[in-house]
Amino acid sequence: MTTPLPSWPPRHADRRTSASRMAVPREPLDPARTGRRWVRRRARGMTADAAVAALDVAPFDTQQNSRFEDLAGDERGPAERGEWEWIARLLADAPPGTAYDPDTDDVVRAELTADAREAGLRELGA
pLDDT (tens digit per residue) in 60-89: 776 776 676 666 667 888 888 899 999 999
Phi, psi (degrees; rounded to nearest 5) at 91:
-75, -30
Q: Which pLDDT band holds residue 98 (cuts at 50, 70, 90)?
A: very high
CA distance 66 to 34: 17
Torsion of CA 114, 26, 37, 59, to 10 degrees: -120
CA distance 53 to 22: 45
pTM for this predicted structure: 0.69
Tens digits of residue pLDDT in 29-57: 888 898 899 999 999 999 999 999 998 88
Q: Are 79 and 33 in contact (CB under 8 A)?
A: yes
Question: Domain residue spans in the chain?
Answer: 30-101
pLDDT at residue 123 is higher than 90: no
Q: What is the mean pLDDT of the chain?
A: 81
Cis-peptide into 25, omega within 30 deg: no
Q: Are 48 and 98 in contact (CB under 8 A)?
A: yes
**Nearest CA to 90 among 126, 41, 40?**
40
